[in-house]
Amino acid sequence: MKVTTDNISTSTGASALSVYVRTARSGDIKPLSELLSSSFYRKAGWSRWVYPLLKLGISEDLRQRLRSAKAFYACLAAVHISSPNTGKQTDELIGTVEIACRQPYLWQVKEHSYVYLSNLAVRSDRRRRGVARKLLATCETVAMDWGFKDIYLHVMEDNPQARRLYGKAGYQIKETEETPLTWLGLSSRRLLLHKPLKKH
């Protein structure tokens, strides 16, 4: 995957970080599991007791997916470039996302296969510097290279940061999903977002 060092400006005034996006390898499992668990779970309070187990689960699942070497699957890792002029990379993994092909359900006869994004996360001390935007843009390029026309992903309704990111990137709500947990007020609704891909 090519080095991408463009400087996108951010509305916070902080300059965008220069990152190199590449496919993840087995040596990345440890830092990526740490990044994912710290991005999706709290380490404080009672959660700190289950946190190591959740992290282990994330790490094993990721190991399986990287090993399975399925067609149309990639785990992407964003690596910080310390000196953009020379393109010098650090070993610092600051973001990740997974991209995979999904088949429609049997009853969705008119639907075609599509690309689904999951596990998008950026290290907390590197956020609001354009890293997620860069990862999403790379996913779109990969999906188009694979020949797909649509990208889908889920986001929780109570995740305004991510919803803003996806909204700005052109994703729109396709479905709002409820479960018994949402009816009981124990969980927020899941939104299925969609973006049609266009060749530029």
Ligand X SMILES: CC(C)(COP(=O)(O)OP(=O)(O)OC[C@H]1O[C@@H](n2cnc3c(N)ncnc32)[C@H](O)[C@@H]1OP(=O)(O)O)[C@@H](O)C(=O)NCCC(=O)NCCS
* 22 counts as binding ligand X under rule CB under 6 A: no
Active site residue 41: no
* 32 counts as binding ligand X under rule CB under 6 A: no
Q: Which stretch binds ligand X (CB under 6 A): 9-17, 20-28, 67-75, 106-114?
A: 9-17
- Residue window 44-83: x/- pattern of binding to ligand X, with contact defined by CB under 6 A: ----------------------------------------
> Residue 122 and residue 129: Cα distance in Å, rounded?
10
Read off the amino acid at residue 126: R
**Marked catalytic residue, from 114, 116, 166, 171:** 166
Residue among 32, 79, 143, 155 that touches ligand X (CB under 6 A): 155
With H, G, I as helix, E, B as strand and everything else as coil, classify residue 99. strand
Residue among 168, 174, 178, 179 that touches ligand X (CB under 6 A): 168
Q: What angle do CA 25, 29, 30 make, to 5 degrees?
A: 140
* 99 counts as binding ligand X under rule CB under 6 A: no
Enumerate long-range contacts of 196-199, CB under 8 Å, 24 or more apart.
196/149, 196/150, 197/140, 197/143, 197/144, 197/148, 197/149, 197/150, 197/151, 199/144
Size of the site for ligand X (CB under 6 A): 22
* 38 counts as binding ligand X under rule CB under 6 A: no
Burial 14-39 (b: 16+ CB within 10 A, else e): eebbbbbbbebeeebbebbbebbbeb
- Where along the sequence are the contacts to ligand X (CB under 6 A)? 10-12, 39-40, 120-122, 127-133, 155, 159, 161-162, 164-165, 168
What amino acid positions are annotated as catalytic residues?
A: 166
